A and B are shown apart, each in its own frame.
Chain A
Amino acid sequence: MTGRTGIATALLLTLVVARGAGAENGGASPGGLEPGDVLDASSWRKAETLLPPEILQHYRDDTYRNTITAWPQDANTWPDDFKAGTDKNAGRFEIGASGEILDKATGRQPDFIIGYPFPTIDPADPTAGVQTVWNYFYRSYYFGNLRAESQLNMMNAGALERRIDVRVTFMYYDGTPDAERVPNPQNLLYQQRVIVTSPADVNGTQALAWRYRDPRKRDSSWAYVPALRRVRATSPANRSDGFLGSDMSQDDGPFFDGKPEDFEWKLVGETDQLRLVDPGNMSKKVDVRWLPSGGWRADWPEDLKFLGYMDPKWKGLAWAPIAAQLALRKFYVVEGVPRDKYYLYGKIQLLIDETNFSGSWNRKASWKDEPLSTTQVIAYDPYLVTRPDGKKDWVQGSTQAFQCSENLKLGRATVAGIKSSPTSGFDSRIVFDPSEFALDTLSRYGK
């Protein structure tokens, strides 16, 4: 064991065993942090066991600074249909040989699931790790189709280096509310289309990806390459590579978007940790409006500077989530080892909330167990909205975004999820025609 590896393992063990009573009520932490306290260079020691060491280091260096808030573990909002689905799922499913979900009654993959497929995680169960990961995914799917005009920003410690603007659409075939369920003859899990709009030299580049529910079926993916004026199939085996040279890979997604069956998962422990949350969401100061064409648009405060580089006065890291807050929560610690030995990372450690199964810290190490990258995301508590026709929907209820993949070796990061402009769409519960994700769509709308 190298010295560096040994340190990493020791820190991980510390993290896994650090549990206290604070997370139960979201109040005082084991280190004595209270809601309203600011975690920074003067107080970082209070969070020594409550953050991944590479994140704690930022507070120690005063390059991250965030206020503590309360989000009690039992103050979780449950969409009613999601809760009903979760209750109904209890005991119904098991994990198959590839890590897939099987219906115990039929031994086959269920056609559709809503809610957590595994409402109760038994740490002693050898499949507890992948069960946890599935719960994380079905929580994500529940929020349904998405359309966003977003930035992908690459930055060094002090400044923004590159900015790429994209239009992203997701269409989900599983896990959504019943009313949004669509026929699924190809057993798709989701389809995704990305159009690069800026800068001008990559404008018009498009990517289309289909993920299947079949456990061993690789994704299908294509790209429209403006320089070739044609559509090319692209390798689905490259999901750990940084997108367009960034630090964020396709498998990072909104927190983690690898195919669960492509990894060997293990639940390695439980821990109390601080996580980033959206204060606007937590305080329910959310501005969401129903679009005339259908779907919910999140309108964020136009003047909110929520990343370090946005605020000229900020002296810390350019990607620091300066408008986020930290809340103490309980987490499962799940580790995944890729089955593909050509995967960039040799181990992925996911910290997944024990109650709402949302992800917080996604830590990636090399095949030699050296820490390489950490994906950090902000959390939202579901928010209830009512359509003009009276139908009720649950949406994320965001007022800002933070999806950050930090390269620990090079001291740089990539942040996604920021609106392209204050008036850009960040729309959910959109009804798409499946043909928008058809193969010919790429050449239709290619240059």
Chain B
Amino acid sequence: MGSRWVGLGLVAGLAVVGRANAFYLDAGRNFDFRARAYTEVGIAAEDTQPQSRPGHKAGQLLSHRNFINPEFEGKLTSYQPFRLDDVSFRLALWGFYDGIYDYGPIQYDHARRTIEGRLSRGYTATGPVTHNDSLIDARKQYSYQCDPVLGSYNAPDHACDLPFRINEAYFNVSKGPLFLRIGRQAISWGESDTIALLDANNPFDQTRGVTGLFEDVDEARIPLWTLRSTYHLFESWGPLSSGYLDAYVVPGSVDTTVSNVPLPLLSPYSPPQDDPQTLIAALVPPKIGQVVIEDAFGGLQVGLYDHLPSRSMSNSRFGVRLGGIVARDYTASLWYYRTFATQPVPRFLPLDLSRSPLAHPGAPGPAQLITELHHGLVDVFGAATSFFSEPADGIVRGEVEFFLGEPAFIPNENLPFERLLKTPAVRRLIQALGQTVPAGGKLAGSVPHADYMRFELGFDRFFFFRPANPWNSFTWVTAYVGQWNLTETFTNRDFRFGGQQELNATGTKSGVNTSQLKLGTISQLRTVAEDFVDQGPYESFVQTHLQTDYMHGRLSPGITAIVGLNGTYAIPMNVTYRFNDNLLFDLKYVLLGGAFRFPTGYFRDRSQIFARMTLLLN
């Protein structure tokens, strides 16, 4: 299917090489069609470190993404009798196909077929227990990007009903100061760019790691079915001008799409993590494994369940923004919105013994240890301003957002092995072994919440450096981006980073103290918080980008650096060559390294080279 799209795209593109003007379908130039298609290979530029699963060698193919994006726009204003100022529409389809599982290095398809942990997704709290959830197929997730709302996910090894994304499909209606946009659309407020720490109105597909590094930010952004209005308040009012009020709602009964995260073990962009099922080996000393796991539990299946928010109005997202220009110099806006946190957090569901002989004698097993990915709603208050600074000769921009009550991660609260022991049947078993487990309290993980202040202070300027480019300026965009965990600072609770374990020599730490335990001390089983990557109360990084144009903009080199103050770095370098207005070539090298920390360190051994050919139907 994917290759067929690309073939169609190539044919369409080649058919129009030489024409560059807009492709109008009518003499009145009301209906406009265009398309963009590319094929891109990603090649490993270094060997992975021993902890990465699956590993790769330098020179191996890491991705072969094919993308097609037809767009159809129309102006209907002259066809409507309602005297509206504007009636128009836009339809944009995005089709992805990555051949990594079909013809890439064998380790990826092998990992997909042999993963022992149960990866699933669903909308109900009990889905992985009753098995009315859907098993996740990595090929489906990575090879295509199915439409998250329309069509069915379908069974593994079957394509989604819509193995492409209706990226935008909306109508614009405007009358006087009121503007409405109805349909699937992207919303982006504020001043942030590159890494979407503050860009949380819309979810992001993060299955390719850090947004903006291995794929374009806009390709990762997932628009939502939204009703949006903008009301132009005034032209000029005292020191204020160009005032407007923006508001939107994403009805939860229609669309609760949330950000995807990289699946463990399955792709070139999976952060280091073992097969969830290997946790059993770490959890239970081999000598007692047969007794406890097989006889008492009927086996133990480890599951990772992506608990998607249910389609209900209570899960609606909405926001309101007030913006304008202050004193003719300061572009400013204030906003509030409610959204789903971009990063889900893990938590243990109660130990599932519904099939276990321990709870139901004669049952075949297995018991299930299920980690749920929790997507929680968060309230966001924000403000942004930008202005031209005469002394600095550039644009200063700032944004601050308060994320209140964001789901967070404290290992002993989210993934508390000690609580699982309180499961009545398990507790009785341990008592039978002559040990005691205190009764009472929670039997599962819980999700702590934290308040974060996230901010970006940026500076953009243009400058001429004639020895390097006598004719066009250099564009320099730089920003200092940070987040402050207010809750950690003011309560001394030790938050960690989203369930990511620290590394050991050959893999990741288990997060549990079983290596020190025997059958006789199993009641002391507990989660080891230090096995998880720490999230400091204050994390920050600097990102800077420099680019220029040569040869009438046909040759555009650029370099970006994202340097975490905790020792991470990522340096993408790219050059675009525009053969003509219909055919572009891109070469990009992404250099990664540094500490195993936020924001880019989890992918520090994934330096790679991308080569892309883009066809444009203008």
Binding site for B on A (CB under 8 A): 149, 151, 154, 161-163, 165, 185-186, 197-201, 203, 212, 217-218, 220, 222, 226-238, 241-242, 244-247, 342, 344, 407, 409-410, 412, 414, 420-421, 423-424, 434-435, 438-440, 443-445, 447
Contacts and interface: CB of A to CB of B under 8 A. Distances in A.
B25 interface: no
Helix, strand, loop or mixed for chain B's interface? strand
B235 A438 contact: yes
Given A435-B177, A439-B242, A241 B328 contact: no
A299 to B, nearest CB: 14
Given A203-B71, A444-B179, 9 more contacts: A161-B552, A161-B554, A162-B578, A200-B616, A200-B618, A242-B472, A244-B553, A440-B230, A444-B181
Contacts, number: 182
A443 B230 contact: yes
A237 B90 contact: no
B29 A421 contact: yes
A438 B244 contact: yes
13 contacts: A161-B554, A199-B20, A227-B217, A233-B388, A235-B393, A242-B553, A245-B549, A245-B552, A342-B464, A409-B471, A439-B324, A443-B230, A445-B172
Interface stretch (B116-124, B183-191, B412-420): B183-191
Interface in B30-61: 32, 34-36
A228 B188 CA distance: 8
A447 B397 contact: no
Contacts of B230: 440, 443-444
A237 B242 CA distance: 22
A188 to B, nearest CB: 10
Interface stretch (B426-434, B455-463, B489-497, B590-598): B455-463
Contacts of B463: 342
B614 A198 contact: no
A369 B36 CA distance: 44
Contact of A238 (B36, B246, B462): B462
| A-B CB proximity, top 7 nearest | A245-B553, A245-B549, A440-B244, A238-B462, A229-B188, A154-B552, A439-B242
B157 interface: no
Given A235-B388, A439-B331, A420 B22 contact: yes
Contacts of A245: 472, 549-554, 556
B552 A246 contact: yes
Residue of A218, A421, A443 ringed by the most chain B CB atoms within 10 A: A443
Contact of A233 (B386, B549, B582): B386
A15 B236 CA distance: 48
B324 A165 contact: no
Contact of A185 (B22, B29, B236): B236
Contacts of A228: 188, 193, 217-218
B394 A237 contact: yes
Given A162-B552, A237-B394, A218 B388 contact: yes
Contact of B395 (A154, A235, A439): A235
Given A228-B188, A241-B472, A242-B471, A165 B22 contact: yes
B27 interface: yes
A230 B189 contact: yes
Contacts of B617: 200
Contact of A198 (B22, B190, B551): B22
Contact of A235 (B35, B172, B191, B461): B461
B325 interface: yes
Nearest to A234: B395
A407 B472 CA distance: 12
A231 B397 CA distance: 12
B584 A201 contact: yes
Contacts of B218: 226-229
Contact of B244 (A217, A414, A439): A439
A232 B386 contact: yes
B440 interface: no
Interface string B592-608: 00000000000000000
